[in-house]
Amino acid sequence: MALAPEPVVTAPVDESLDLWAVMRKSMHMDLEIDRVRVKQEIKWLQRNPNYLPRLQERMQTYLPYVVREVALRDMPVELALLPIVESALDVYAFSHGGAAGPWQFIRGTARQYRLTMDDWYDGRRDIVASTDAALRLLTDLHNRYDDWFLALAAYNAGPGNVNRAKRRNPGAGYFDLALPRETRAYVPRLLAIAAVIKDPEEFGLNVPEVKNEQSFNTVKLHSQFQLTTLASVIDMPLRDLQHWNPAFARWATSPRGPHHAIIPADIEQASVQAAIDAWPEERRVDWREVTVRNGDTLSELAIRYKTDVRSLVTFNKIKRNRIRAGQKLLIPSAGQDAPTPSIAGADLIHVVQSGESLWTISRKYDVNLRKLMRTNQVGPRDPLAVGKKLAIPGHSAPGHSAPGQETSRSVVRTVRYKVRSGDSLARIAGKFNVTVSQIASWNGLDLKKYIQPGQALKLYVNVMGG
């Protein structure tokens, strides 16, 4: 790869209010605009002139921060555009392969780079945590290959694919390696976007205005906070707090951390931090004392009270996960006003009839029994009174949220999935936490016929559930 000597890059300063002007001063990567593949990607942008302008709001929200982080690490500033290639800067982006967030981390790589993922928090959707992890990963890949194009190829396809291609063609550069089709287009797509940003007039395109102003700051929480309480302390609407913190998956921040929150830049950071620090720790989460009943298990209590087993064990110093009838437990309580986590589209209500059980209801609607219990916060031994209303996960009632529509309880993204050898509808449904009947409905499938490798399916996936 042809790269000019890399200068010492400093963090963007406030000399210019135009982020593009700041980036252009630091662009030194050979963008290879005479390459056929790069030309093809530029032509795509020319055929879709509204693509970049449509991303203006996301760019303004996230790019100034990413540019600053890239520059602070003395990395080519063009790499800051990579989340556009990966996810169109959508923090809720979710791929058919299970990659999530603006940098599209799969779970294995996310864990390797110390991104926390649990029932409470998904660091892949945290712009601060995921950007740090992505830039560390890219740095490691560059240290391995001493070539940014190969580092980018390995980011997309994995080092194994790049290494195999290099063994087949020793000494070859990125453009001469036999890489997977998606990877062959991956680097040219980044180069094409960088070329347009660098000189939009040359390509007859307009780029949206993006100011060189960071739109958010972070504050330290030090311990778990109920979101309704945190919103009150910060003095901002709960929905806004959730908007700025897409990594928060439940009614509270994670008991185990990371303990930070993102707040908009127009809120005074120091005063908010002072208010958080002064808030008594025992008032950060609502607590209730419950008495363990005969037959109760930790997993059932966790479902009933919207928490998890690990938290119950930690809060109550339970040894060997054993509880006994009559024992008193402190339970972190979501409270009546807290947002209730839910599976996407859980708007169909079933009224319990005489003789019904959770099992028979789950079979009637073809839903997972555990999902049914979690959605309604009931355990398998809880009394199921006639007339009780249950929300059925994955089934939308008329007039309620349609696929792709976001609510405070779920964020749904469309996933295009290509059937692979060995796939079945049941296997695909399990992978994406949907039902076989939903997949059939969304794609007009006849359940009596087998799906075929290469067949394209459209899925509506709740990214907050996975």
Catalytic residue among 32, 41, 69, 86: 86
- The answer to whether the CB of 323 falls within 8 A of the CB of 296 is yes
Length of the chain: 466
Task: Give the span between the Cα atoms of 154 and 82, in whole angstroms.
Answer: 13
State residue 125 phi and psi, 5-degree precision. Answer: -95, 0
Print the SS3 string covering 367-430. CCHHHHHHHHCCCCCCCCCCCCEEEECCCCCCCCCCCCCCCCCCCEEEEEEECCCCCCHHHHHH
> Residue 407 corresponds to which tokens in the numbers above?
């609510």
d(CA 258, CA 229): 18
Nearby residues of 298 by Cβ (< 8 Å), 6 or more positions away: 309, 312, 313, 318, 321, 323
Of the candidates 426, 422, 416, 420, the residue with the CA atom closest to the CA atom of residue 454: 420
CB-facing half-sphere around the CA of 271: CA atoms within 13 A:
6
* Distance in angstroms (rounded) separating the CA atoms of residues 358 and 461: 24
Q: Is 448 exposed, middle or buried (0-12, 13-18, 19+ CB in 10 A)?
A: exposed
Q: What is the Cα–Cα distance from 379 to 296, expressed in whole angstroms?
A: 9
Determine the 3-state secondary structure of 305 from DSSP: coil
- Can you read off the two tokens belonging to residue 40? 């093809």
Amino acid letter, 136: R
Active site residue 300: no
Nearest to 466 by CA among 397, 413, 406, 416: 413
Cα 57 to Cα 53: distance, rounded to the nearest angstrom: 9
Catalytic residues: 86
